[in-house]
Amino acid sequence: MSATRHIEQEDLALFAMQLLSTDESATVTSHVEHCAECRQLLAEVQGELAVYAHTVDIHPPSAQARERLMKQVAREKKEVPIERASTPEAGSGYKTGLGGSSTVQDEPKQSFGSRIFPWAGWAVAAGLTVAAGNLYREREVMRSTLVRQAGQMDLLTADVASAQQVMDALTDRTAKHVMLTKAPTTPTPPIPQGRATYVPEKGTLIFLASNMEPLQPNKVYELWLIPADGRNPIPAGTFHPDDRGNASVILPPLPRRIEAKAFGVTVEDEGGSQTPTLPIIMAGS
């Protein structure tokens, strides 16, 4: 595939299905833009794909889907260009009806209302113009707000995606957890270790453990939050280590605003306990 040679039909099919890499797609786009022959071939491939899409088994969407669309359509009503109604020339009617035969003597006979009425019309028009101007300004403000909020949404979406990636990495069973320590001079068995990250204000807790010893059947490790105000320990989730002794407790349900004095780990029966069973095999404050 090059910018000078024609694009191979195989590549046109992949391009039409958006399956080429970004660079390859850019090359095809640039070539097709200037090559009528390849453009025609691409249109034919798109037509073939459209026919192929029709081979799918047909399922009607739910009735709510139609309702949802029509509601959205109604919400986004279009501003249809309106033909301006032809306005009679101001005062022309008066001229043909009155002007031709009017005399100076007739003038005092015009009522106060008939003299004020034409001005009232202009006043109403001016009022409407001001109101329309205000509406237009409001609409522009709302539109810019919408654009700003759409930008914020994009940022939030990116943040959520990033947070999800972190969560996925932390909870992935295939992830390798490595803790680096000072190299021992004599070989010693690995010591079980845990690291708890706790935000009292939000009740958020993340606990990562390594080198955990395997458990007997029907037993489980349980993490405890020991409150600083002397209340009973609060269960903060149970866990089983994997084959390599790694384990984690991510965001267990905890009450907010509980200051922690320490964290501990006990071994409990499967299903966990509401009160810790001694001994506490791991503790940290």
199 DSSP β-pair partners: 204
User: Shortest approach of other proteins to residue 110 CB, angstroms?
Assistant: 33
| Residue 204 amino acid letter | T
Instruction: Write the CA distances from 201 to 106, 150, 204, 205, 257, integer angstroms.
Output: 86, 30, 8, 11, 5
Q: With respect to other proteins, which residue has the nearer C-beta, 14 or 196?
A: 14
User: Which C-beta is closer to other proteins: that of 47 or that of 97?
Assistant: 47
Residues forming the site for other proteins (CB under 8 A): 9-11, 13-14, 17-20, 25, 39-40, 42-62, 65-66, 68-70, 72-74, 76-80, 82-85, 161
Compute the least distance from the CB of residue 151 to other proteins, in Å. 14
- Max Cα separation, the chain? 127
User: Considering the complex, what minimum distance in angstroms separates the CB of residue 273 from other proteins?
Assistant: 39
Which two structure tokens, joined as six digits, stand for 210? 């390594």
CB of 94 to other proteins, least distance (A): 25
User: Is the CB of residue 250 less than 8 Å from the CB of residue 171?
Assistant: yes
Q: Which is nearer to other proteins, 42 or 196 (CB)?
A: 42
The tokens for 194 are: 């845990």
Cis upstream peptide for 255 (omega within 30°): no
Closer residue to other proteins in complex, CB, 142/179: 142
Helix axis angle, 22-34 to 36-53, nearest 10°: 120
Which two structure tokens, joined as six digits, stand for 102? Answer: 């009017």
Residues 93, 98: Cα–Cα separation, whole Å: 8
Reading the block at residue 232, the tokens are 């009973």
Instruction: For other proteins, give the closer residue by CB, 16 or 226.
Output: 16
Q: Please compute, for residue 56, the number of CA atoms within 13 A of its CA located in the half-sphere on the CB side.
A: 8
Q: How far is the CB of 37 from other proteins (least distance, A)?
A: 13
Q: Which is nearer to other proteins, 81 or 253 (CB)?
A: 81
Least distance from other proteins to the Cβ atom of residue 31, Å: 14
